[in-house]
Amino acid sequence: MQQNICIIDDDPICVFGIKKLLKETNLFDTISTHANGLEAIQDFQKSIDKNKSLPSIIFLDINMPIMDGWEFLEEFRKISFKNREHVRIYIVSSSVDPRDLLKAKSIIEVDDYFIKPITNKAIQKAIENVNL
Amino acid sequence: MDTFLPEIKIDNDFIHNIPIPVAIVDKNLIFISHSHHWSVEHNLGKESITGAYFFDIIKSFPTELKTILEHCLLGNSSANEGKKFDLKNGENLWLKWKINPWLKVDGRLEGLIIVLENITDKKEINELVKDAQEVSRTGGWEVNLLNKTSRWTKMVNIIHEMPLDYVPRTFDENFAHFKEGEHRNKVLHAAKKAINAGIPWDEEVLMLTGTRKEIWVRTKGRVEHNNGKCIRLYGTCQDIDQQKRAELQYRDSVRLLTKAVTASQVGTWEYNLENGRTMWDDVNFDLHGIKKNNYEGSLYTNWKNSIHPDDVDRVKNEASLRYKTNEKGIVEYRVVLPDGTIRFLKSTVTFISEANSSIQKAIGISQDVTPEKLAEIKLKEFAKITMEQNNSLTNFAHMVSHDLRAHSTNLSVLTALLQDEKDENEKKQILEMLKKATNSLNSTVCNLNDVVLSTDTNITDKIVDVKLLEAIHNVQNNISTLFKEKKGFCDIDVNEKHSVKVVPAYLDSILLNLFTNSLKYCSSLRTPIIKISSKYKDNFLEFSFCDNGRGIDLQKFGANIFGMNKTFHRNKDARGVGLYIIKNQIEAMGGTINVSSEVDEGTTFIIRFKI
């Protein structure tokens, strides 16, 4: 089974960093990136239409233009449960605002909250949780 | 019997006319003759009783009297000023009599001469008077001014706590018992006036009793004149110590209460719910700014008219609700005083019903709470400002931490990668990113600085007159590249004479923000057109900035569009913080900003500048 990973972040440096760490694991076939939530949702919709499965892991930033992380989560929930059942979502944000952490905890689709910079350990933890 | 009569020689007509109740009886207590008064005194009617037996005629007389009469038939006299007999029917009978044996010249007893009065009524009145004196502790006294002697009834002695046989021996001694000074002088003065001018007196004064106890008495006196000369001084003396002391105590507490009420500036009022009668005290009139002796119409109308127009309806509703439910509580309202100043009043109302009647009254007190109210309003304002500032500070702190963190994180990640990277091409790429990251950090710091400056309200000395049109053209020139890139188009309808009072740098920042926002978020379907116009309105210059861009979903973001919460994306042209900054700048200069927008149609900002 093909394992996809998806990074949704508007900061190219961040994306670059996560990609570097993921490549070292050699576990994933494809790493897709999106600069905001809207791009990602539109891409997911296309995949579902083509009967392709969604990524197993999503690294999601919160602060993004056009559609931010929270809005993305709202849209994501509208996808039928069957299609998103196996998707793990990890928030990766530089926000240390306790209000953001609380909000993330209250959303069941979110599996964990990592504060930037994301570490090797965090990546390992995220991968272990996925049934590979 | 007839044979005796000539011998006895009694003139019946003569006896009949004697003006006292007298009767003559023979040795066997048979009536020989009697006066008309006798018949009247003993209720005997007009029929003659001559020849009848004494106790046949007056059956109700006690048997003791028979004993007395029999004793007299032995040749003895008997007299009594008043003796009480208990009758069989439980009533009392008082008799006064004088009985003499009727003796012939030779000493032979012929019969009895009886003077007998029924004084029951008189005696009972006297008893009543005596009782009344005791109950009311009132005694009588008199001073004979001719022979300077005095007489007191026993009660006067009792009140004076003097021996019962005491009587003042001189005229002056009559006044010696009144307390020296004010009290004695008062009575002496009154007595003098009575003697000289015949004016009676009635005074309440302190006196010292025989045991040196101080008590209050009421002394009343008047005089009797004879041939223009004052011959007698008489009157009453009443012990009123208890009542007087209670009264004085009550007066003291009333005086204290009045003092306290006046000093505390608490107004009191009463409203009779049955007949609408209203009573106010002086303080309440003062508090409402109504002249007590100089107002027209009803007090209710005056009260209503004194209330601040914005409060009248509410107060009327609250008052009538309370009158309906009889629920005590507090009503607060403002009054407008005649000089136009506003006073805050707090009126506490409670309800009472008078004993044994259905009359309901509302009573209450009014207090001036203006200083407290003003302090409260000020405090609330401060609390609001503090809360707003606290909020801004929290948001600002998070914003700073988030944005600076984002960049510092990137810098550390990139330098770490750079250190480990062997590939030259990769290194080059990382260096390029490092350069971008430092630039972003720089612009973020600039942005944060702008935010800090925009909240500075101490800018009065930097405000100058600026021609709006010139400022617009300047900003337009500065971003001509962006205009060309987006193929943007401007429709400016601003009078070149229109000028506004602003901080020039702020105006530039505001215009720059509006232009760049419009161009960045222009619609991909249309040529960007920006329409700008200005007009004077209510001492402001109203400046309208209208684009045909993507628009903002105000239902979703309306509350936060000028806020800091959703702001500050890392990319420096993010919309949120720009709006936050320009809003702060506009308000610091005394202006306002409003927005209206339709998604996919465009956005219009209306800004008012001071002129």
In degrees rounded to 5, what are phi and psi of residue B129?
-60, -40
Judge whether A69 and A61 are in contact, CB under 8 Å: yes
User: Which of chain A's residues have a Cβ under 8 Å away from the Cβ of B571?
Assistant: 10, 65
Q: Is A119 a residue whose pLDDT tops 90?
A: no
Output the pLDDT for position B359: 72
Residue B570 to residue A63, Cβ atoms within 8 A: yes
Contacts across the A-B interface (CB distance below 8 Å): 55
Output the pLDDT for position B495: 92
Output the pLDDT for position B6: 43
Whats the size of chain A, residue-wise? 132
Within a 10 A sphere around the Cβ of B185, how many other Cβ atoms?
14
- Cβ-based burial of A36 (10 A; exposed 0-12, middle 13-18, buried ≥19): buried
A14 contacts chain B (CB < 8 A): yes
A95 contacts chain B (CB < 8 A): yes
User: Which of chain B's residues have a Cβ under 8 Å away from the Cβ of A68?
Assistant: 566
Q: Bigger pLDDT: A34 or B86?
A: A34
Residue appearing with tokens 């609001």: B384
Within a 10 A sphere around the Cβ of B211, how many other Cβ atoms?
8
User: Which of chain B's residues have a Cβ under 8 Å away from the Cβ of A64?
Assistant: 569
Output the pLDDT for position B241: 92
What ipTM was assigned to the predicted interfaces of this complex? 0.74
pTM, whole model, 2 decimals?
Answer: 0.45
pLDDT per residue over A46-98, tens digit each? 999 998 889 999 999 988 877 889 999 999 999 988 888 889 999 999 888 88
Output the pLDDT for position B356: 65
pLDDT per residue over B281-331, tens digit each? 888 998 998 888 888 888 888 888 899 999 999 998 888 888 888 888 899
Residue A13 to residue B570, Cβ atoms within 8 A: no
Output the pLDDT for position B409: 84
A71 contacts chain B (CB < 8 A): no
How far is B554 from B602, CA to CA, in rounded Å? 12
Q: Which residues contact B205 (CB under 8 A, 6 or more apart)?
A: B178, B179, B183, B184, B186, B187, B216, B217, B219
pLDDT per residue over B433-477, tens digit each? 888 888 878 877 887 787 777 766 677 778 889 999 999 998 888
Q: How would you write A27-90 as a 3-class SS string?
A: CCCEEEEECCHHHHHHHHHHHHHCCCCCCCEEEECCCCCCCCHHHHHHHHHCCCHHHHCCCEEE
Output the pLDDT for position B573: 43
Write down the H helix ranges in B339-463: 370-420, 424-454
- Which of A11, A12, A97 is facing B398, going by the closest CB pair? A97
For B337, B473, B488, B498, B508, the CA distances from B470, given in Å and listed in that order, are: 52, 5, 19, 10, 11
pLDDT along chain B (611 residues), means of 10: 51 87 91 89 83 84 86 90 84 89 86 90 84 87 89 90 89 90 92 90 92 93 87 92 91 86 83 84 89 84 90 89 84 91 91 74 90 92 87 75 80 87 88 86 79 72 89 88 87 92 88 88 88 92 92 74 54 58 85 89 93 88
Nearest CA in chain B to A35: B571
Looking at the DSSP bridge assignments, the partners of residue B493 are: B533
Please give the radius of gyration of chain B, using alpha carbons only, rounded to the nearest integer: 57
Output the pLDDT for position B402: 73
In degrees rounded to 5, what are phi and psi of residue B533?
-145, 165
- Which of B405, B417, B433 is facing A94, going by the closest CB pair? B405
How far is A20 from B534, CA to CA, in rounded Å? 54
Output the pLDDT for position B355: 66
Q: What is the percent of chain B with per-residue pLDDT over 70, rounded to a whole number?
A: 94
A75 contacts chain B (CB < 8 A): no
Mean pLDDT of the A14-33 span: 85
pLDDT per residue over B352-378, tens digit each? 877 666 778 888 999 999 999 999 999
User: Which of chain A's residues have a Cβ under 8 Å away from the Cβ of B437?
Assistant: 13
Residue A95 to residue B402, Cβ atoms within 8 A: yes
Q: Is A22 a residue whose pLDDT tops 80?
A: yes
Q: Is A2 a residue whose pLDDT tops 60?
A: no
How far is B582 from B506, CA to CA, in rounded Å? 8
Convert B114-139 to b/e letters by CB count within 10 Å (16 or more is b).
bbbbbbbeebeeeeeeeeebeeebbb
User: Which of chain A's residues have a Cβ under 8 Å away from the Cβ of B551?
Assistant: none
Q: How would you write B318-368 as a 3-class SS string?
A: HHHHHHHHCCCEEEEEEEECCCCCEEEEEEEEEEEECCCCCCEEEEEEEEE
Output the pLDDT for position B542: 94
**Nearest C-alpha of chain B: how many angstroms from A96?**
7
For A78, B307, B317, B401, B456, the CA distances from B312, given in Å and listed in that order, are: 55, 6, 9, 53, 42
Residue A96 to residue B436, Cβ atoms within 8 A: no
Residue appearing with tokens 């509703």: B317
- Which of B410, B412, B430 is facing A11, going by the closest CB pair? B410
Q: What is the dihedral of CA B109, B111, B117, B120, to 10 degrees?
A: 90
